[in-house]
Homo-oligomer: A and B are copies of this chain.
Amino acid sequence: MINLRRPIDTRDRALQVARELFAERGYRGTSLRDIAKRIGVKAPSLLHHFPSKQQLYLAVLDQLFESVEDATKAIVWTHDSRQERMRQAVADMVDFIASHPDLVRIMWKEMADESGVGRQVLKRRLPPLFSTAVKFIFRGQRDGEFRSEVDPLHFMWGLNAITIGYFAISAMIQRLWSINLLEHAMIDRRKRELTDMVERTLFTF
């Protein structure tokens, strides 16, 4: 009989499908059998590639954080003013988030969940991301480009809520108002709204 198995594929497909399902239904709402079925494989086969369901989830989470960290690194190195770089960062952030809808939903579920499986991963990988942004804002304040009465960390928590949180509920908005926040026009509008907000609350003029 012809060999229909493509060994290396299964692991990658598992990561991809797991990401989709975890984003949609959460960790507890997704069974290994669900993931396996969508790949066209039986559940125990997944445990050949990952030691447990929990480890599979953590692998997904790690992959997401890596793409976030890559995106973050890509933002920082330009020679514009800090105000211009901030504007650009917000726009890039929206683009990135909009093109990774699964990421936003998993990340947000993990942040909002108290009994989350990924607590350790968040504890390790989230503070450095915020720290980078906080330092950036702090330097801007020192140089008089950003308002000094703004608390950088609080500002970032708010910005986090209004970008990630905003898109995390896009599925509900689609259901209730039949408006797709991930559409091109909507993303552009959101970019403008957020940039405006950041300019008005953070920038000195």
A158 within 8 A of B: yes
Q: Given the complex, which residues of B lie within 8 Å of A123, measured CB to CB?
A: 175-176
A109 within 8 A of B: yes
**A109 and B127 alpha carbons, distance in the complex (Å):** 23
CB of B176 within 8 A of CB of A112, answer no
CB of A114 within 8 A of CB of B161, answer no
Knowing A157-B166, A161-B161 are in contact, say whether A172-B28 is a contact too (CB < 8 A): no
Contact of A193 among B119, B127, B154 (CB under 8 A): B154
CB of A29 within 8 A of CB of B115, answer yes
A75 within 8 A of B: no
In A106-128, the 8 Å CB interface with B consists of 108-109, 111-115, 119, 122-123, 126-127
CB of A193 within 8 A of CB of B158, answer yes
Q: Given the complex, which residues of B lie within 8 Å of A122, measured CB to CB?
A: 172, 176
CB of A115 within 8 A of CB of B24, answer yes
**A28 and B139 alpha carbons, distance in the complex (Å):** 45
**A165 and B24 alpha carbons, distance in the complex (Å):** 18
CB of B201 within 8 A of CB of A119, answer no
Q: Given the complex, which residues of B lie within 8 Å of A115, measured CB to CB?
A: 24-26, 29
Q: Given the complex, which residues of B lie within 8 Å of A165, measured CB to CB?
A: 161-162, 164-166, 168
CB of B201 within 8 A of CB of A111, answer no
**A190 and B165 alpha carbons, distance in the complex (Å):** 17
CB of B168 within 8 A of CB of A158, answer no
Give the most central of A24, A108, A114, A160: most B CB within 10 Å.
Answer: A114
A173 within 8 A of B: yes
Interface, chain A (partner B; CB < 8 A): 24-26, 28-29, 105, 108-109, 111-115, 119, 122-123, 126-127, 151, 153-155, 157-158, 160-162, 164-166, 168-169, 171-173, 175-177, 189-190, 193, 196-197, 200-201
